[in-house]
Amino acid sequence: MDRAIRIIGIDPGLRRTGWGVVESDGSRLSFVAAGTIRVAEAAPLAERLCAIHDRLNEIIRSYAPDEAAVEATFVNRDAAATLKLGQARGVAMLVPALAGIQVAEYAPNAVKKAVVGAGHAQKQQIRLMVSVLLPRASFDGDDSADALAIAICHAHHRGGAAIRVAVARTA
């Protein structure tokens, strides 16, 4: 690698979508930016999805990531809520894909294990480890901290992710 790779991590949600951008240069990680897209809970679903789409577009144009990583949907007992969250996740995957950016997906437990070392870590542990791994990081809450954790996870696994994508394309 002759240059740092810029990675955006996205933690999709219908009320709050976290995003975080890091640069990976070999084993060195650097904080670039992070934030949370907040959408009015009372707004119709289509408007909320449009707002997430539009804001993610702005973020991708502003920070020009080379790669993207999105957290996989956590399936719970409320099928309707899971389906709606899946729609927000679809937008979170679509925006970078339309920009020509490769998108990787990571299960929540894989993200926690990559950052904290345990697949069942608490939110506070994730925030603490993100702060340790990215000392200059500033984030406005759990959603942006989670997004940075997703970006960190991708930085640790990106070689394997590239191989999986290449194999999937040839199959």
Judged by DSSP in three states, 22 sits in: strand
Tokens of 145: 């901290």
Tokens of 5: 């790779």
Could you say which of 23, 67, 71, 146 is catalytic?
Answer: 71
Could you say which of 23, 67, 143, 146 is catalytic?
Answer: 143
Active-site residue, 143 included = yes
Active-site residue, 71 included = yes
Rg (CA), the chain: 15
Separate counts of helices (H) and strands (E) for the chain: 5, 5
Could you say which of 11, 23, 67, 146 is catalytic?
Answer: 11
Q: What is the Cα–Cα distance from 145 to 34, expressed in whole angstroms?
A: 8
- Tally the C-alpha atoms within 13 A of residue 35's C-alpha that lie toward its C-beta: 12
Question: Which residues are designated catalytic?
Answer: 11, 71, 143
